[in-house]
Amino acid sequence: MSAPTRNRPEPATLPPPDSVRAAHRTHPGWWVLVVFVMLCVLALVRMLFTNPNLQWDVVAAWFFSKSILLGLMRTLQLTVLSMLIGIALGVLTAVMRLSPIPILSSVAWFYIWFFRGTPLLVQLIFWYNMAALFPTIQIGIPLTGPTFWSGDANVVVTPFVAALLGLALNEGAYMSEIVRGGILSVDHGQNEAASALGMRSSRAMRRVILPQAMRVIVPPTGNQVISMLKASALVSVTSMPELLYSAQIIYNRTFQTIPLLIVASLWYLIVTTILSIGQYYVERHYARGGRRSLPPTPVEKFRRRLNSLRSRMSPKEAR
């Protein structure tokens, strides 16, 4: 450090680097924008408190009512079940699409093409009216074999089953592409190493490829869960009493439309918030071995900030 000072003598007054604070110079235009945004936020907050049409007392009264909570349960049930079926379908069709057998890969392609290419709302109404297309449902070997079981479509395909089928089949098509992208993101050398160690391809997929693909699959899947939660509101058109339809039933009777929509929206927000937190930790789990050190959890971040604050308050003690 002392060598290059021959030509350029260091000013003796320069403070030690620790105490230098970098100064940000802010363009005046930013201040105008800040003031404008602040005014908008204030207006919004004031509206929330003062607008009588919001009827917060009504919101509070219905928030934990039995029919709303039942609707919420139904929404959660639909989301979880259709997500699980969708993920299973997605993995299956992704593996089919990547298989070297042309029939399997084209069937998977067709499935994705169809269910991504038509609106979810149309699919839901379609499943709801399935009895008009297939009056009886049979389970057996297609075209040739015996029938193991058959039943009346109106009895089997209840509104819940119709909603589940619609959401899950649609979700499967999207998950398929997500899973396929994840599998393709894993280095080919991993497959070779697994084969060279004597693993069969099914085992290599389960133990080596999919766990690594998860790092790519999980973030968009988290998004899918959140969209699914909200997409399940579409089911209300088939008079399935999920969260939104439960709210609608009430406001059709009481005409308290806005407060009940607020009740439903708040519940959706609460659940998506919980889901986002869950997603963060799942992502962390699958980041193992990916980075040299894992990012801190919010709790760790909070603790660190608290510590640095404490040391700033009493600098002498900290030094």
Q: Which is nearer to other proteins, 201 or 307 (CB)?
A: 201
Q: Which is nearer to other proteins, 72 or 210 (CB)?
A: 210
Nearest to 129 by CA among 100, 92, 166, 170: 166
Applying CB under 8 A, which part among 109-117, 121-129, 131-139, 281-289 lies near other proteins? 281-289
Show the binding pattern over residues 234-273: x = contacts other proteins (CB under 8 A), - = does not.
Answer: ----------------------------------------
Can you read off the two tokens belonging to residue 30? 């930013």
CB of 214 to other proteins, least distance (A): 8
H-assigned helices in the chain: 28-50, 56-63, 66-98, 102-117, 120-128, 130-133, 153-156, 159-185, 188-196, 201-204, 210-231, 243-254, 257-286, 298-313, 315-318
Can you read off the two tokens belonging to residue 231? 């997409």
CB of 187 to other proteins, least distance (A): 8
Applying CB under 8 A, which part among 13-21, 49-57, 252-260, 283-291 lies near other proteins? 283-291
Residues 160-219 binding other proteins (CB under 8 A) are 187, 189-190, 192-193, 195-201, 203, 207-208, 211-212
Taking a C-beta distance cutoff of 8 angstroms, is the pair 290, 218 a contact? no
Q: Which is nearer to other proteins, 192 or 300 (CB)?
A: 192
Beta bridge partners of 138: 150
In angstroms, the first-to-last Cα distance of the chain is 25
Show the binding pattern over residues 76-95: x = contacts other proteins (CB under 8 A), - = does not.
Answer: --------------------
Measure the CA–CA gap between 81 and 94, rounded to whole angstroms: 20
- The position carrying tokens 């519940």 is 267
CB of 225 to other proteins, least distance (A): 22
CB of 257 to other proteins, least distance (A): 51
Q: Is 289 in the site for other proteins (CB under 8 A)?
A: yes
User: What is the b/e burial string over 51-80, where b = at least 16 CB atoms within 10 angstroms of the residue's CB?
Assistant: eeeebeebbeebeeeeebeebbebbbebbe
Q: How many residues bind other proteins (CB under 8 A)?
A: 23
Can you read off the two tokens belonging to residue 201? 């391809």
Applying CB under 8 A, which part among 46-54, 231-239, 284-292, 303-311 lies near other proteins? 284-292
Sites of contact with other proteins (CB under 8 A): 187, 189-190, 192-193, 195-201, 203, 207-208, 211-212, 286, 288-292
